[in-house]
Amino acid sequence: MTKAKISACQLKLKPVASFREFANQVEEIIAQVPADSDYVLFPELVTLGLVNSFAGSDNFEVKDIVKVSEYTEDYKNLFKNLAIERQQVIIAGSHLERRGDKYYNICYVFDKDGSYVEHKKTHIFPAEGNWQTCEGDELEVFDIGPAKIGIAICYESEIPEISRILSMKGAEIIFCPSYTFTEAGFWRVRHCSQARAIENQVYFVHCPTVGDPSLPFPAEGYGRASILSPCDIAFPFNGVVAEAGTNQNTVISGIVDIEELYVNRKTGAATTFNDRTRKEGMYAKYPPYDAIARNKVLSPTT
């Protein structure tokens, strides 16, 4: 029986004046993580508070948040050293990083020896266009720690094809660092995360950046972290393995059984992982993208 213990660090965003202050914030919250956790997840745009470390930040516009890219090496070294020191796999949220003349929203996964892999967000949320963020075009599954894992950054959870491809490539846990600054945004990601866990029979870990709107920019953020499972006999009936309080600076942890996923795919009440593919011949008769392009799905007159 293969089990994995997962911790999600629901980090409360706050303006910081230096990288050392940001590092202190990270070190304080990771100190709450149990020493026996296999995976530690941080939220999307975890370095955003560093915007306030730049001179003139009071007059910044949204597009200026890409300045945090200047801290890329500091960010990578911080989480690399924490992974080595704690001997845990750390999914270090995401960070805006400049590559050549482009910026990407990148999630790094640091293994216990300090090595790392990365995932560039493939579907940027429409508002991210204000930051001139470019999209990645690769979906990989990583055999790191006791499970095979995939990454779906925030809005990627709302694109069903992302999680389907990851699960078909072998992902058993999908980690979703997220940042939404409205309650509606939080629920979109949360409901989609639960749907992805059910339809692909995988575990899905949703970890949002939260904040305090009364503080200076950037401090918005809404959510509560959760570790989610399929809804079936072998799992919590509501699919919630663990859940944080809303907008708290806190850590949640939970243990998941990897082998149970494979049993559930064969004998569960709902065998959606396999049932989604067994009628591909029928699906092929209905080209949805062509239909939408011809306005024959969305038009109320057809």
- Are the CB atoms for 229 and 235 separated by under 8 Å? yes
Residues, the chain, total? 302
Amino acid residing at 143: D
- Among the listed residues 154, 176, 192, 207, the single catalytic one is 154
Q: Is the dihedral angle over the CA atoms 256, 158, 128, 11 positive or is it negative? A: negative
- Among the listed residues 9, 14, 44, 172, the single catalytic one is 44
73 is catalytic: no
Helix (H) or strand (E) holding 183, with range, is helix 183-200
DSSP character at residue 233? T
- Is 261 buried (19+), middle (13-18) or exposed (0-12) by CB count in 10 A? buried
Helix (H) or strand (E) holding 274, with range, is helix 272-275
- Among the listed residues 12, 76, 120, 121, the single catalytic one is 121
Q: How far apart are CA 23 and CA 76, in angstroms?
A: 11
Q: How far apart are CA 138 and CA 93, in angstroms?
A: 18
176 is catalytic: no
Whether the ω angle into residue 177 lies within 30 degrees of 0, i.e. cis, is: no
44 is catalytic: yes
Catalytic positions, please? Answer: 44, 121, 154
